[in-house]
Amino acid sequence: MSLSKSLVFASLLFAAGAQAQSVTAGTLVVVPAAGEVTHANDEAVLLLAVEEQDKDKNAAASRVNAKMKQGTDIVRGSDPSAKLRTYGYYTYPVYPEDNPPRPLAANVKPVPTAWRVGQYLEVKTSNLAGLQKTAAAAQKVLQINAVQFGLSPALTKQLDDERIAATYRNLNERVASIARAMGKKPDDATIDTIDFEGSGNYAGEERPQAMMMRAKAPVQAQDMAEPSLEPGETTLQMRLVGKVKFK
């Protein structure tokens, strides 16, 4: 290549570089970022229930009341630190399914063959080491409907600092990558705005899925083995959108 052609080629490259710099100078770039932290669950919610059926509504209710009191006392004795809440007391009639009543007059109501009465007990505890023992003791009287593991509010608040730091760190990493792709230095970037709400919901706010189990009738104490309950872990996620200006 002759000297004159080399000079022309070099001038073209310089002009192209100058043009690229003029295009990217002052550019406002919108950068999404995400971060997450994972931690072992430290809290459990055990949902217990009792249900009785009898032709005599009061007899069914009386047995439910007695079993709920007995089950509550068992749970309190097994795990004094647990927080208990009873709710969902229900009473409704049972009609024959195989022989439905014939149409009656408008002012005549069908007669139920029995009454079904029940109530729920929620047990919230951070004593995961003794949870299986507590559950087995409660099953002598009550039924297990579900178990849900998650993070306590105190631990969630503590992990929030780590989640924010991880998300902000990811933003800086992505800004540096974008700067290099644009032929800039990371120092040429200035973060103008950070929006922690504009990119979507906090995935970590979702509670972990409950481990559902079919309710079974209580068995005798000597036959009750401890259930297998594994706390697992929860991942907290966060997303943000940053607006970055380049020199």
Distance CA 227, CA 18 (A): 71
Question: Stretch 162-167: mean pLDDT, rounded?
Answer: 92
Distance CA 153, CA 139 (A): 28
- Asked if pLDDT for residue 227 goes beyond 70, the answer is yes
Question: Stretch 215-239: mean pLDDT, rounded?
Answer: 73
The amino acid sitting at 41 is: N
Between 9-13, 20-24, 170-174, the lowest mean confidence (pLDDT) is in 9-13
Strand ranges for 42-127 from DSSP E: 43-54, 83-94, 114-125
Q: Which two tokens stand for residue 191?
A: 């973060």
Cα–Cα distances (Å) from 207 to 97, 151, 204, in that order, read: 38, 8, 8
Kindly report the pTM of this predicted structure: 0.68
Helices and strands (H and E) in the chain: how many: 4, 8
In a domain, 199, yes or no: no
In a domain, 103, yes or no: no
Between 10-24, 172-186, 202-216, the lowest mean confidence (pLDDT) is in 202-216
Question: Stretch 202-215: mean pLDDT, rounded?
Answer: 40
In a domain, 25, yes or no: no
Domain total for the chain? Answer: 1
Q: Which domain holds residue 120?
A: 43-92+111-150+208-226
Matching residue, tokens 């927080």 = 83
Question: Stretch 64-85: mean pLDDT, rounded?
Answer: 96
Matching residue, tokens 């080491």 = 129
In a domain, 177, yes or no: no
Residue 106, Cα to own-chain centre: how many angstroms?
Answer: 49
Would you give the end-to-end CA distance of the chain in angstroms? 37
Strand ranges for the chain from DSSP E: 28-40, 43-54, 83-94, 114-125, 143-150, 189-195, 211-212, 233-246
Task: Assign residue 139 the CATH number of its domain.
Answer: 3.30.70.360
Name, of 45-49, 199-203, 205-209, 238-242, the range with top average pLDDT. 45-49
Q: Which is it for strands 28-40 and 143-150: parallel, antiparallel or unpaired?
A: unpaired
Q: Which two tokens stand for residue 204?
A: 């970590």
Q: How many CB atoms lie within 10 A of CB 127?
A: 15
Condensed to tens digits (0 to 9), the pLDDT of residues 110-136 reads 788 999 999 999 999 999 999 999 999
In a domain, 134, yes or no: yes
The CA-based angle 76-80-82, given to 5 degrees, is 85
- Asked if pLDDT for residue 38 goes beyond 50, the answer is yes
In a domain, 176, yes or no: no
pLDDT for the residue numbered 191: 85
| Contact indicator for 139, 219 with CB cutoff of 8 Å | yes
Q: How many CB atoms lie within 10 A of CB 97?
A: 7
In a domain, 123, yes or no: yes
- Asked if pLDDT for residue 210 goes beyond 90, the answer is no
Cα–Cα distances (Å) from 119 to 25, 74, 205, in that order, read: 68, 16, 29
